[in-house]
Structure 1
Amino acid sequence: MKIAEFGVESWLNEWEKSAKYDISQSTISSMTINELFADNNDDYQTFLKDLGQSKMNYGWIEGSPKFKEQVCELYDNVQPTQVLQTNGATGANYLALYSLIEPGDHVISEYPSYQQLYDIPKSLGAKIDFWNINEADNWYPNINELKQLIRPNTKLICLNNANNPTGTLLDHEFLQKVVEIARSVGAYVLVDEVYLPLDDTDSFTSIVDLYEKGISTNSLSKSYSFPGIRIGWVVANEELSDNFRKYRDYTMICGGVFNDLLATYILQHRNQVWNRNRKIVLNNLQILKKWVDQEPRVSCVFPQAVSTSCIKLDIPISTEEFCLRLLKQTGVLLVPGERFDLPGHARLGYCTDEDTLKIGLAKLSEFLRQYD
């Protein structure tokens, strides 16, 4: 099996630890365990007691009952048997794709988006058609193009909602149209849903709440600010979930006893986490908008209060070369658009701490002045 290099991950693996001002990430400023428990000391003592009494065996293979119950609360009508714990959303995406795709299958993938969603099916021998997002249409794809791409044998449609790197959220009405097209040929719809619009969480609709053949993947890495515990999940109908179980045994055993305990607590206190993160997102988004308004060499279709954004750079060199020079000369890290097949653009993670964002943007502007 051959597979392309994972563009964004290989870039970050090589450069993120050398950055002084990292404004490349799509996580909302990561939390510490102390911060999570800061206002709940009694909970912290109870958590430590439970942890201290827990045997460090494999624990609950698919995720504990308490974890599954908390995940179910994120959806309208999901049962615990439909939830499988995974190693982040990357593990959830891989599990779904590995379980479903066979050589010769036809897959339609939103493009550009998270690279897993098209290069894994391609590596498994599927025929991939790209459903392009359009900057002129606020990074939305055209529903008529999906109608042209769909085939009687289409196996799967892959979406990233909200999109990485643009932050564009596909709304309920648009997703309904996708479901109608998928249902017409019996295709599955896989949606990576790690980015939640924190200005209005009710505006988000999960694919499993819309479609009987919808597959939702998610994790605690982005909107929950805990990428370090590597806990995600996949939710699908009962038949699919049973199929996923078989393949899951070949890819992972468990998420770990400690990780499951902490993940359950985070989900139980998700409103506390979201309130904290909402302040960061809305505050930093205003900083980003003000900066873009004042920076003549940058434009942006702004995200809907999700933690990733995609800026367009008016520069005479490739964004890959630009971002590398920027890092080495100023310590500011972006992800060049080439890593998402979007040359001329860059992913700017504006949901870091405020000081890092402000300094990073100031240094980025200063660096851009050489092209005036």
Structure 2
Amino acid sequence: MVKIEAFAVEQWMDKYETTAKYNIAETCCASISVDDLRALSDDKEFNPLAELQSAKLTYGAIRGSDKLRGTLSRLYSVRAPTELPKDNILITAGAIQANFLLLYTLVGPGDHVICHYPTYQQLYSVPESVGAEVSLWKSKETDGWQLDIEELKSLIRPNTKLIIINNPQNPTGAVIPRQTLQELVDIAREKSIIIHSDEVYRPLFHNISPADPKFPPTLLSMGYEHTVVTGSLSKAYSLAGLRVGWIASRDSSIIESVASARDYTTISVGQLDDAIASFALAPDCIHNLLKRNIDLARTNLAILEKFIEDHRWACDWVKPQAGTTAFVRFNKMGKPINDVAFCEMLQERTGVMFVPGSLCFGGGEDFKGYVRIGYVNETEVLQQGLDALRKFMEDDYDDVPAVKKSSAQK
């Protein structure tokens, strides 16, 4: 029997998000409707659903429609040395299915996997569940949550098959810069190791400019065949309800293998979801949609930054450069707080929802005192939630227990 660890962050979200008054743990940009999407589009005449009203609701295009895969192909081919064929893209039921199928297909007993950390638990727990050994490539808060290439070299073994990165990173909002990506590609190419980049928060870059030499390109543009990326419409594009994600690779054999494994699961993505996704990513809409979300991220990040600056006596962070999440550390007189107790008390007394870092991103001694905050929701929700948190800090923060010295983060 396959043994898989409980998916801590998803269980926490499932337990608390329906009762939260101020959900500022959500990782998606503020959700929108089909009507909102049409309003954002420059093509005011086209209705993505109209052409399907008389269509038979079959399984549809098993690998995703030519229109959707063609649109993604064009997006991934910008500034790339060669065009990415649409047949090198597989549409999935969200990025979570994309990641699962990819890991289930590529690794197994006897394989070694190196995974960027901290990150979404799926990326290291799924390889472990199918029998692979996993080493964590730990980013360092003291260096802005950056990765050390020399450490990567020390982690590589003769049986290392896959290196997994998350760029932009959940939960910190950090990015892996271009130079580090290039060094990673050079190492992987030398040893014929596959690189998987979870780019689900791409292209929501709000605190780093494309003109910056550190700005990270998609891994698919870096000229290494054995790369594969996953993405979706949930985070940067505000359309989590579509459940549309994808796997894209320069290596067509990876796509074929994953497509074969996918036959045992969902078979295809619904035609309605595919059609709306195609509309959202089309040139008439995508730029306006991303501008809306990047502007929202910048506005809300400034609000969150003001709160943290006002409460430096209790919290600190590395300011995010991209994505929708921040990893904030709370303390009492320099000692980490019990972040699980803090999140539970906060929700019970104020209705504000955060995600505890030690439970959902460490599972042990890592990240005591940290909480993940999702800040790219409706500005009013964030503002009201932080106002409630501000009152909690004044009236109730003394009740939050600190972590005892024996279990504090070293």
TM-score, normalized by the shorter chain, greater than 0.5: yes
- 1:283 is aligned to 2:299: yes
| 1:75-86 aligned within 5 A | 75-76=76-77, 77-86=83-92
Superposition CA RMSD, Å? 1.6
Measure the CA separation in 2 of the matches of 1:175 and 1:300: 24
Match of 2:35 in 1: 34
Match of 1:243 in 2: 257
For structure 2, the residue ranges without an aligned partner over 5 or more in a row are 78-82, 399-410
Match of 2:61 in 1: 60
- SS of alignment partner, residue 320 of structure 1: helix
Deviation at 1:201, TM superposition (A): 5.5
Match of 2:162 in 1: 156
Once the two structures are superposed, residues 28-52 of structure 1 have per-residue CA deviations (whole angstroms, 9 ceiling, x without a partner) of 1111111111255974654332021
Match of 2:235 in 1: 222
- 1:346 is aligned to 2:375: no
Deviation at 1:366, TM superposition (A): 2.0
The answer to whether the 8 A contact 1:190-1:215 is kept is yes
For structure 1, the residue ranges without an aligned partner over 5 or more in a row are none
The answer to whether the 8 A contact 1:319-1:336 is kept is yes
Deviation at 1:53, TM superposition (A): 2.3
- Going from structure 1 to structure 2, the CA distance change for 1:139 and 1:249 (only over 3 Å counts) comes to same
Deviation at 1:87, TM superposition (A): 0.9
- Between stretches 182-191 and 38-47, larger displacement belongs to 38-47
Once the two structures are superposed, residues 211-238 of structure 1 have per-residue CA deviations (whole angstroms, 9 ceiling, x without a partner) of 2111100000000010010000000121
Measure the CA separation in 2 of the matches of 1:43 and 1:355: 28
| 1:22-171 aligned within 5 A | 22-38=23-39, 43=44, 46-76=47-77, 77-171=83-177
TM-score by length of 1: 0.96
- Going from structure 1 to structure 2, the CA distance change for 1:183 and 1:39 (only over 3 Å counts) comes to closer
- Going from structure 1 to structure 2, the CA distance change for 1:317 and 1:282 (only over 3 Å counts) comes to closer
- Going from structure 1 to structure 2, the CA distance change for 1:161 and 1:129 (only over 3 Å counts) comes to same
The answer to whether the 8 A contact 1:95-1:251 is kept is no
Match of 2:407 in 1: none
Q: Pick from 274, 282, 287: which aligns with 1:260?
A: 274
Once the two structures are superposed, residues 312-356 of structure 1 have per-residue CA deviations (whole angstroms, 9 ceiling, x without a partner) of 111464101110110011000000112111221010011111111
Measure the CA separation in 2 of the matches of 1:152 and 1:252: 35
- 1:301 is aligned to 2:318: yes
- SS of alignment partner, residue 73 of structure 1: helix
Measure the CA separation in 1 of the matches of 2:72 and 2:264: 23
Match of 1:335 in 2: 355
Once the two structures are superposed, residues 236-280 of structure 1 have per-residue CA deviations (whole angstroms, 9 ceiling, x without a partner) of 121211222211111221110100000100111211110111110
- Going from structure 1 to structure 2, the CA distance change for 1:33 and 1:366 (only over 3 Å counts) comes to same
The answer to whether the 8 A contact 1:23-1:348 is kept is yes
Measure the CA separation in 1 of the matches of 2:320 and 2:349: 29
Q: Pick from 284, 290, 293: which aligns with 1:274?
A: 290
Measure the CA separation in 2 of the matches of 1:75 and 1:320: 40
The answer to whether the 8 A contact 1:65-1:80 is kept is yes
Match of 1:208 in 2: 220
- Between stretches 287-296 and 155-164, larger displacement belongs to 287-296
The answer to whether the 8 A contact 1:288-1:350 is kept is yes
Once the two structures are superposed, residues 158-206 of structure 1 have per-residue CA deviations (whole angstroms, 9 ceiling, x without a partner) of 1111111001111111101111121222110111101123334673311
- SS of alignment partner, residue 139 of structure 2: strand
Deviation at 1:147, TM superposition (A): 0.7
The answer to whether the 8 A contact 1:72-1:79 is kept is yes
Q: Percent identity?
A: 38
- Going from structure 1 to structure 2, the CA distance change for 1:119 and 1:53 (only over 3 Å counts) comes to same
Measure the CA separation in 1 of the matches of 2:42 and 2:33: 14
TM-score by length of 2: 0.88
Match of 1:190 in 2: 196
Name the count of aligned residue pairs: 372
The answer to whether the 8 A contact 2:90-2:247 is kept is yes
The answer to whether the 8 A contact 2:38-2:47 is kept is no
**Corresponding letter in the other structure for 1:340:** F
Measure the CA separation in 1 of the matches of 2:122 and 2:341: 24
